[in-house]
Chain A
Amino acid sequence: MEYRLKINAEIVPVQADEGPENNLKIAMTGQQFDVDWQVIGDNMIHLLVNGRSVNAYLTEEDGGKNITINGLTCRVEDADLLEQNRSRKTRPGDVPSEVTPPMPAVVVRVMVEAGDLVEKGQGVVVVTAMKMETTLNAPFSGKVTGVNAAAGDKVMPGEILVDIAGAATGEVNSE
């Protein structure tokens, strides 16, 4: 069987062939893996990979799997499935260049007004979550075209708190 996996950010083609009972021959990243596997529970798989013992802990999230091995976690998705899903959505790919809280938070202060010129990295909004204050910075230099939040507002990830028009491109970072 052929798979295309997205492991963290990289697309990795994988060839997997079933061997004898509970055995797989896997070819990926130019290497051959002889894998004996045992499913221990809903979230745990034990592997013998080329004879080496590995405990993998898996949870499913947003259509992919978070896989923890030796204390480190990888995000693994089926790349083909991912592309199918993405083509159905109209929204373009992830744009990290937005002034938005990384988690549900409360606005403490807004430090800019519409019309202000901001430098990339300049603090524009301070939010607090779980008793920690965090400053959200301008993702690029430009002009503030809109302020969509005020002190005391509860805000969610994805909400654009400040619209900034980029100086170079003239693009408006808003939806």
Chain B
Amino acid sequence: MFDKILVANRGEIAVRIMRTCQEMGIATVAVYSEADKKALHVLTADEAVYLGDAEPAGSYLNMDKIIRAALDSNAGAIHPGYGFLAENAAFAEKCEQAGLIFIGPPAKVIRELGDKTMARRIMVKGGVPVIPGMTRAEADPAAMAEEAEKIGYPVLIKASSGGGGKGMRVVNGPEEMEPGCIAASSEAAAAFGNGAVYLEKYLERPRHIEFQILADAHGHVIHLLERECSIQRRHQKIIEETPSPVMTPELREEMGKAAVAAASASGYVNAGTVEFLLDREKNFYFLEVNTRLQVEHPITEMITGIDLVRRQIEIAAGGVLDLSQQDISGRGHAIECRIYAEDPENNFFPSPGRIAFLKEPAGPGIRNDCGVYEGAQVPVEYDPILSKLVCFAENRDAAIQRMVRALAGYVISGVKTSVPFLMDLFQSKAFMSGETFTDFIEEYFADWHPADPPADLAGIAFIVDEMYSKTRVKKTMHPTGNTASPWETLGNWRG
């Protein structure tokens, strides 16, 4: 087993990985950029190495700096988290060359599955059903339009090296092809350093259902049930749940087998996710494999009781996966929603800034994987995810009720968040009845406006605060007071 692991990421996922490392008695090394000197992941780790500029290219995407940091700190392995270098085959290769273990699949597997067109070819060969579409990337919009005629509109432009919804555009007719290609390609180039795009048939009103897989280096592959992630905005998942409201034992067995076949066909090792689209007739099609720990992995952990990060580390260390498919069963229902620093009243535009006040929800069945603290700065340079709120209960209805309660008790001030939007979403008839399709937001929440806030009560609170603040003692008068965040005081003695 490793003595020390470097976590090549930031925010909530870096903190989440470090927690398991700490539980396993493994020392942790954080890396950080100029913007993250006081970030929670730096405060959580046993050691921290400064990388450079806030710009990802100078820090979290800089492979040589990260490998140097791992070697200098004597870390035996690197956990890439999600995003940044998590699905970068060249990085996995560089780790191998430097004698470091990359906690994820082998570089070859990342490369082949990361190329979405190659992945489709592998799945066809492995007998996994795929969506009709191109098997090669194409740079010429005219040739794309020709392909689209063959497939039939609407079609979806996708980034070859994509993931996470970046670089995708729906095209309804030939006139939309060229602007769509330009936009998708430029977004893909910015996000992944590769602007190659291809086409797939666009399925109307599908559900997005994915299977968590675990595979060891000794050829043993299992799945850890499904997650439904249909509720997306701009092709970004915002709510995930397990089990899926439409899953049946028969369909689960069939899709689970396909997921395991997909992993086996690609020579997969470590934790991964096989994504499918499920149409109205419950036909499922392979979408892609995410060769990393998923953002939404906690809901699987909640219903299976398995710590996926621990399993990842054990597998990376060469361990045998001592679970068989029969050992895996789900219990209860888990839902996750992503809390972003974004303004739901302004088209969900990112809302960076300083967290002026933070009160996390608590209580039975609530897990909040949070990457910030009161006083923390949410930088403009990175994804604006603040935390992932996960609720677990004995059934779906109870889990939804628990989520609404948790959201109502979640206070984040200083930046705008999606909390009011999520509260309305979870209380909507459509969500409660499981009408979760990938067009859910457009269908039911396109014209969403926040509920009228309790103006009278806010006015009363304002007046009480005004009257109270007249007698409020200045903070500077009692420096030993409990107003300073522990993180700020920690920051001092860390130097």
Contacts and interface: CB of A to CB of B under 8 A. Distances in A.
A14 interface: yes
Interface string B400-434: 00000001111101100001100100000000000
A95 interface: no
Interface in A58-97: 58-59, 61, 65-74, 76, 78
A114 interface: no
Contacts of B419: 71
B333 interface: no
Interface string A90-108: 0000000000001110001
Contacts of A78: 466
B359 interface: yes
Contacts of B465: 45, 58, 65
B29 to A, nearest CB: 25
A69 B458 contact: yes
A32 B335 CA distance: 41
A67 B461 contact: yes
A76 B468 CA distance: 16
B463 A29 contact: no
B463 A72 contact: no
Mostly helix, strand, loop or mixed at chain A's interface?
strand
A47 B413 contact: no
B455 A12 contact: yes
Interface stretch (B4-12, B243-251, B322-330, B342-350): B342-350
A106 B459 CA distance: 38
Contact of A72 (B343, B359, B450, B464): B450
A74 B453 contact: yes
Contact of A131 (B349, B383, B409): B383
Nearest to B409: A71
A115 to B, nearest CB: 22
Nearest to B482: A41
Contact of B464 (A28, A35, A59, A134): A35
A37 B468 CA distance: 10
Interface centre among B350, B359, B455 (most CB of A within 10 A): B455
**Interface size range on B against A:** 35 or more
A26 interface: yes
Nearest to A39: B468
A162 to B, nearest CB: 18
A46 B183 CA distance: 50
A117 interface: no
B477 interface: no
A131 B458 contact: no
A59 B357 CA distance: 7
Nearest to B414: A59
Given A26-B463, A43-B357, A67-B462, A8 B453 contact: yes
Contacts of B458: 7, 56, 67, 69, 74, 76
A114 to B, nearest CB: 22
A21 interface: no
A29 B456 contact: yes
B414 A70 contact: no
A42 interface: yes
Contacts of B183: 133
Given A16-B463, A45-B464, A71 B423 contact: yes
A133 B187 contact: yes
The 10 closest A-B pairs by CB, nearest first: A74-B458, A56-B461, A59-B356, A59-B413, A72-B453, A130-B350, A76-B462, A67-B458, A43-B357, A71-B408
Given A31-B456, A68-B411, 16 more contacts: A3-B463, A3-B466, A10-B455, A14-B463, A24-B464, A43-B357, A57-B359, A67-B461, A71-B419, A72-B453, A76-B461, A103-B350, A129-B380, A131-B166, A131-B190, A131-B191
21 contacts: A3-B466, A5-B462, A12-B455, A12-B459, A24-B464, A26-B459, A28-B456, A29-B456, A42-B483, A45-B461, A58-B465, A59-B356, A59-B357, A59-B413, A61-B414, A67-B461, A67-B462, A69-B457, A72-B420, A76-B461, A129-B349
Interface of A: 3, 5, 7-8, 10, 12, 14, 16, 18, 24, 26, 28-29, 31, 33, 35, 37, 39, 42-45, 47, 49, 54, 56-59, 61, 65-74, 76, 78, 102-104, 108-109, 128-134
